[in-house]
Amino acid sequence: MKIEKLVRPSVRGLKAYEAKEIPCKVKLDANESPYGYDISRAKIATNRYPDPEARALRDAIAKTHGVTRESVLLGNGSDELISCLITTFGGPVLHPSPTFVMYANIAIALGEKDVPVALNSEFDLDETAMLAAIRRHKPKLVFLSTPNNPTGNCFDAGAVLRIIERAPGIVVVDEAYQPFAGDKGYCTFLADYPNLVVMRTLSKIGLAALRLGYMVASTQIIAEVNKVRLPYNVNSFSQAHALHALKKGTLMRKAIKTIATEREAMMAAMSAMEGIEVYPSEANFIMFRVADQAAMHAALLKRGVLIKNLGAMVKGCMRVTVGTPSENKAFIKALREALGNGK
Ligand SMILES: *Cc1c(COP(=O)(O)O)cnc(C)c1O
């Protein structure tokens, strides 16, 4: 029996998401926070299913956004919510390119039409092209990651709002990196746009181990997406630990500030180097262009520093995550050596 023949055609051509564990001293490849948090000592009844509605945690999250519990839906990472959204609304699924790969991967796996629209030369939205593609394809879902992964920049807010206004379907603003950005994000627009969904995750702010993402939207959208959410998708440990960590909001905000300050220092040091081009960032990572991606990746790894080679996704570019001050120093030193303009 040929198993391959049994596999859905849309899945046959996919590649599994690669998250290779490369041993290194300084790990700056996955946009994780260098700062973690104490875990909850709450007693968990291991024989019982988790609270299926995660009421306490949803209440805590709802409070931070000034909405009610019914406007919040939790996912096993925001990846799961992307999957739930596409399962609920279907395609076409439209998004700029390059961006986070899961929008396309999940759309394709589910057999939906995927419509990538190229960003302009500054990696901002090409508003004319986006609006034309929206008129032509009438997407059920548009995904906009701002700040965008892997480019690091925020999209022009006017363009984002016009896309939300003109789109015939749902527009998901993915704010995985918003805590590191200067603006306040798009939650304030939820009341104005019934087709807007704002998605967040705890993964980039020190709690990647928990796998916890959430979306904020109208109660009607939440109720529809909740129909396809698998029961008990957020386990008891993640619910308890996330609730515990959120109560330490001050600590988390301080860490986020430190990372943003470090990012600016790294950008300044990198911009002064010859042989690379550094792109603006409002996230916890920086994208930069090099002469030879593979050679740069290897040269840094030889010096103990692991960063992300963006390969064909953004030709010529690399992405480095902001770490602790000492990790960042090690990266800057290794980069200077790799470029041959240091000792
Ligand atoms: C990392 C990332 C996510 C996924 O977050 P999880 O909550 O860990 O699944 C979503 N969107 C963007 C843009 C990301 O970079």
Within 8 A by CB and 6+ apart from 88, the residues are 224, 225, 227, 228
Q: For ligand 1, is residue 32 a contact (CB within 6 Å)?
A: no
Cβ atoms of 200 and 187 within 8 Å: the answer is no
Residue with tokens 């041959």: 340
Q: Taking 70 as the threshold, does the pLDDT of residue 342 lie above it? A: no
Position 341 scores a pLDDT of 61
Q: Which atom of ligand 1 is nearest to the CA of 31?
A: 1
Cα-to-centroid distance, 175 and ligand 1 (Å)? 9
The alpha carbon of 65 is separated from its chain's Cα centroid by a whole number of angstroms, namely 19
For residue 194, the one-letter residue type is: P
Task: Go through the domains of the chain in sequence order and give each one's CATH number.
Answer: 3-34+250-338 (3.90.1150.10), 55-247 (3.40.640.10)
Q: Roughly how many angstroms between the first and final C-alpha of the chain, as a whole number?
A: 60
> What is the rounded distance in angstroms from the CA atom of residue 151 to the CA atom of residue 170?
24
Residue among 334, 40, 50, 149 nearest 343 (CA):
334
Cα-to-centroid distance, 342 and ligand 1 (Å)? 35
Q: For ligand 1, is residue 76 a contact (CB within 6 Å)?
A: no
pLDDT tens digit sequence for 113-150: 999 999 999 999 999 999 999 999 999 999 999 999 99
Q: For ligand 1, is residue 71 a contact (CB within 6 Å)?
A: no
pLDDT band, residue 343 (cuts 50/70/90): very low
Structure tokens belonging to residue 215 = 């979306």
Using most ligand atoms within 8 A of CB, pick from 204, 212, 313 the residue to mutate for ligand 1. Answer: 204
pLDDT tens digit sequence for 208-255: 999 999 999 999 999 999 999 999 999 999 999 999 988 888 889 999
The alpha carbon of 130 is separated from its chain's Cα centroid by a whole number of angstroms, namely 21
What is the length of the chain? 343
Diameter of the chain measured on Cα atoms = 60
pLDDT tens digit sequence for 2-19: 898 999 988 998 888 877
Using most ligand atoms within 8 A of CB, pick from 76, 101, 102 the residue to mutate for ligand 1. Answer: 102
Residue among 80, 87, 135 nearest 111 (CA):
87
E-assigned strand segments in the chain: 26-27, 72-76, 93-97, 114-118, 141-145, 170-174, 196-201, 212-216, 277-278, 285-289, 305-306, 308-309, 317-321
Other beta carbons less than 10 A from residue 275's beta carbon: 13
